[in-house]
Structure 1
Amino acid sequence: MSLSTSRRLALLTSASLALLAGCGSSPDSADGTNTSDRVAVVASTNVYGDIVRRVGGDRVDVTSLISDPDQDPHSYEAAPQNQLALSRAKVVVENGGGYDDFVDRMLKSGHDDSAAVINAVEVSGKAAPEGGELNEHVWYDFPTVAKLADRISAALAQADPGHAAAFRKNAAAFKAKLAPLEAKEARIKKEHGGEGVAITEPVPLYMTEASGLVDKTPPAFSEAIEEGDDVSPRVLQENLALFSGRKVEALVYNEQTSGPQTEKAEAAAKAAGIPVVPVTETLPKGKDYLGWMTANVDALAGALAT
């Protein structure tokens, strides 16, 4: 689900203040400086940065604005070196859907529209359901990531036409490695389709839905957690009853935005002997996208098999 208006305004305000005050950041490279003939690319998170590397190989110089696995992307504060990296980028990859609005804000403030900007939500073609909000965590949707690889290949080919064939080849190889992940989801669906799970936030929903699982979480609970709001006592008890009543087979838990109310859910799940599957929004240290998602899907399958 997309950020609330108040959270978006707070995020944009903090980004502006950071630009003025010179707050620190955590990009993969210090300032996006590209001293070679490689294509300079800026990605909003290291998830997209890694995908760019899979497609671009040694022909890209990638700066990921958010790369700290302990950083909550929703509360990220942009820094001056981010603006510098964006000003030099030939390609920019953002999530969109209200997730990383600070990227668009900095692009506009830099008055540079020469970079090819790839918006993953737009690539996905996904829209908010009637009466609901968009789940913007599209990197957990493997068909979307396959489309994104092709879009990145096309953008890199435009920036570096001499290596277009290599980019296409790399994108095809990357997409081929997504196929086993979709096969794992299909296997979970065959074995556990229709079973209930609980979540703390909508982060993993594309993965659980593709696996045929049903989210039993009270919408007011996951929405409040994502928006940083308090959960009412009634909704909290309704959520905890999922575990005490053994109405779900697993809890899929976003480790990057834990707090007292999500910790109560985790404790209730463990007390009831219900497996907890931790997930994150950015790459854990030492993981690439494919290895990370393989671990996520395997952990989900393992939890349901217990």
Structure 2
Amino acid sequence: MQVSSARGAVLLIGVTLVLSCGCGGSSDTGSPDSPRSAAAAGAVPVVASTNVYGDLVEQIGGDKVDVISIISDPAQDPHSYEASTQNQLSLSKAKLVVANGGGYDDFIGRMLRSADNPSVDVIDAVQVSGKAPAEGGEFNEHVWYDVPTVDKLTDQIADALAKAAPADADVFRQNAKAFKEELTSLQAEEAQIKEDHEGAAVAVTEPVPLYMTEASGLRNSTPEDFSEAVEEGDDVSPGVLRETLELFTDRRVEALVYNEQTSGPQTEKVKEAAEDNGVPVVPVTETLPRGEDYVSWMTANVDALKSALDG
């Protein structure tokens, strides 16, 4: 799974991040050299669980915020991340924390419980979304792929920053308004795909992009046992793998939306089956690629999906 910061060069902070599963790597805790995060004195200190949420705060706060994104390395898995002392120190000083919630980044809750920072405001994106699992079903916690949720989150972040720095409240709300206008354009692109391709069948390697594909009017034909096993890091049974591969050999789907951050032998087989049978592959990630901001990243994802379906 993955993450990065929005504009400018990235300065790696020399802290080793320990992961409890095989997604090793070191974390980038923000972009102190970039214009957006070269914060002015007195800027609001903010900690985000991933660089996706860090970028949202930077879009709204500009140089009035000092943002640390704990996970910004595509090799890192938020589900299994373990905190460092540097992370703990950052949380103890933060005025605002933005996390995904829904079991995605539980390390934030664990750190906050021992951070000795009772006055910090915490925004939980899953709570803001208002989404809940269907009865008896799995919950898709990847709510940053749901543009209406990000729209709601934008207002929550602007309000929290205005509370922390009342003198700059107008700046935060103006920036939020401008950002929400960009989100409107993104939703319009999804609506266009829906108009052109509603009901088209696609496959995914795991649930990460499903809010995007659903907003685009597409039908997920992936066997649920396949995508759940991949997300949980479990082996896919031979029968389920065979069923999934047949989606491509029988040309029953029009695209494969492939999470590049959690590739493994079984997802590679699925990708190869798509390529071998002429089914377009749309790569996605869980964190911001370097040099992208939220809107440019999501626009690229939607454009790639549209191109795949348009043929």
Q: TM-score, normalised by structure 1?
A: 0.90
Contact 2:47/2:98 (<8 A) preserved: yes
Matching residue of 2:251: 246
Matching residue of 2:242: 237
Matching residue of 2:162: 157
Matching residue of 2:304: 299
Offset at residue 113 of structure 1 (A): 1.8
Contact 2:206/2:259 (<8 A) preserved: yes
How many residue pairs end up in the alignment? 287
In the alignment, structure 1 residue 26 sits paired with structure 2 residue 45: no
The runs of 5 or more residues in structure 2 that have no matched partner are 1-16
Contact 2:202/2:256 (<8 A) preserved: yes
The 1:263/1:17 distance shift into structure 2, 3 A limit, reads closer
Contact 1:249/1:274 (<8 A) preserved: yes
The 1:215/1:82 distance shift into structure 2, 3 A limit, reads same
In the alignment, structure 1 residue 141 sits paired with structure 2 residue 130: no
Equivalent in 280, 283, 296 of residue 285 of structure 2:
280
2:119 corresponds to which letter in structure 1? S
Q: CA RMSD in A?
A: 1.9
The 1:209/1:58 distance shift into structure 2, 3 A limit, reads same
2:134 corresponds to which letter in structure 1? P
Offset at residue 114 of structure 1 (A): 1.0
1:272 corresponds to which letter in structure 2? N
Q: Secondary structure at the match of 1:44?
A: strand
CA distance in 1 between counterparts of 2:270 and 2:220 reads 15
2:254 corresponds to which letter in structure 1? E
Q: Deviations over 1:231-263 (max 9, x none)?
A: 000000000000001010000000000000000
Contact 1:25/1:79 (<8 A) preserved: no
Within 5 Å, give how 1:1-306 maps onto structure 2: 25-28=27-30, 36-306=41-311
Offset at residue 24 of structure 1 (A): 5.7
Structure 1 window deviating more from structure 2 (32-41 vs 91-100): it is 32-41
Offset at residue 73 of structure 1 (A): 2.6
Matching residue of 2:6: none
Offset at residue 80 of structure 1 (A): 1.1
Contact 1:25/1:78 (<8 A) preserved: no
Q: Deviations over 1:16-40 (max 9, x none)?
A: 999xxxx96421168x998820000
Contact 1:42/1:62 (<8 A) preserved: yes
2:255 corresponds to which letter in structure 1? A
Matching residue of 1:11: none
CA distance in 1 between counterparts of 2:190 and 2:274 reads 23
The 1:96/1:229 distance shift into structure 2, 3 A limit, reads same
Q: Deviations over 1:67-120 (max 9, x none)?
A: 112323333332111101100100000000000000010000123221100000
CA distance in 1 between counterparts of 2:83 and 2:92 reads 14
Q: Deviations over 1:96-153 (max 9, x none)?
A: 0000000010000123221100000000000001111210000000000000000000
The 1:166/1:147 distance shift into structure 2, 3 A limit, reads same
The 1:16/1:68 distance shift into structure 2, 3 A limit, reads closer
Q: Secondary structure at the match of 1:65?
A: strand
CA distance in 1 between counterparts of 2:26 and 2:90 reads 14
Matching residue of 2:11: none
Offset at residue 278 of structure 1 (A): 0.3
Q: TM-score, normalised by structure 2?
A: 0.89
Q: Secondary structure at the match of 1:252?
A: strand
The 1:29/1:296 distance shift into structure 2, 3 A limit, reads closer
Contact 2:203/2:253 (<8 A) preserved: yes
Matching residue of 1:6: none
The 1:183/1:29 distance shift into structure 2, 3 A limit, reads closer
The runs of 5 or more residues in structure 1 that have no matched partner are 1-14
Query: Alignment identity in percent?
Result: 65
Runs of 4+ displaced beyond 6 Å: 15-18, 32-35
1:193 corresponds to which letter in structure 2? E
